[in-house]
């Protein structure tokens, strides 16, 4: 009896593992990774990218996470304020991954955006500029999302 049960459970376990892997892969595709930005300060705002129906708008309560490149551990996690802005203070010079995720009320409609940020000293005062992370609506490519440097 024992040998008859084992061959039955192996395919079932394999099927369960494959479906869990497929689910995780779908979640990974919901993040768009954009080209790097060079900045003097890690601050900016999170917006919903424009679509056919809507113009660009700020996202209050979006999650913004900062990590070292290639690491899963979050260094700092903050939420955008009522103006959609965020700022990471007292961050050492270096390369980071910056990820913005939509507020919970918008998670079904918007996709997360990630960008590599190089924090470096600059000769020119670049504090008058901010990172803008646009979370997209579309289902292909980078979902219409973007990362830009704009005047504050």
Q: What is the pLDDT of residues 27-45, one digit of tens each?
A: 444 556 656 777 778 899 9
d(CA 39, CA 152): 13
Mark the ranges of the chain whose per-residue pLDDT is less than 70.
1-35, 122-128, 139-142
Which residue's entry shows tokens 């903050």?
78
pLDDT of amino acid 138 = 76
Question: pTM, whole model, 2 decimals?
Answer: 0.71
pLDDT of amino acid 82 = 97
d(CA 68, CA 148): 20
| Domains of the chain and CATH, by start | 31-151 (2.60.40.10)
**What is the Cα Rg of the chain in Å?**
20
Residues 6+ apart with CB under 8 A from 33: 114, 115, 116
pLDDT of amino acid 151 = 80
CB-CB neighbours of 134 under 10 Å:
25
């Amino acid at each position: 009896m024992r040998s008859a049960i084992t061959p039955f459970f192996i395919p079932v376990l394999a099927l369960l593992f494959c479906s869990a892997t497929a689910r995780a892969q779908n979640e990974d595709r919901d993040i768009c990774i954009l080209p790097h930005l060079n900045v003097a300060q890690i601050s900016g705002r999170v917006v919903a990218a424009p679509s056919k129906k809507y113009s660009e708008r700020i996202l209050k309560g979006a999650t913004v996470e900062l990590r070292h490149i290639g690491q899963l551990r979050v260094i700092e996690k903050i939420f955008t304020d009522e103006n959609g802005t965020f700022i990471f203070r007292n961050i050492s010079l270096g390369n980071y991954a910056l990820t913005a995720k939509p507020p919970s009320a918008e998670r079904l409609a918007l996709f997360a955006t990630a960008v590599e940020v190089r924090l470096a000293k600059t000769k020119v005062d670049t504090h008058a500029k901010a990172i803008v992370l646009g979370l997209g609506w579309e289902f292909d490519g980078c979902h219409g999302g973007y990362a830009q440097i704009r005047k504050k």
